[in-house]
Amino acid sequence: MVFEGVRRKVVALAMLGVLAAVAWRTMDAGRVRTLVFVLLGGFALRVTLTPGRSRYDGEGSPD
């Protein structure tokens, strides 16, 4: 299964959302859970702000 372009971003953001939901349900409120949310938010921001294509798009193999 290969995801390209905007679909790749949607899948990545959905997975980050799932991880955030799991952290919310399984961790007690406190500094560690806050740190997890800050890290996941940073990853979500990075995914959102990066261009839609990868350097491997359109190539056969990264080797």
- Mean pLDDT, the chain, rounded, equals 85
* Cα dist from 8 to 13, 23, 31, 60, 63, whole Å: 9, 23, 31, 18, 22
Task: Give the global pTM.
Answer: 0.74
Longest CA–CA separation in the chain, Å: 46
Q: What is the pLDDT of residues 14-38, one digit of tens each?
A: 999 999 999 999 999 899 999 999 9
More confident residue, 35 or 61: 35
pLDDT at 31: 94
Question: What are the C-alpha distances in Å from 40 to residues 23, 28, 35?
Answer: 10, 17, 9
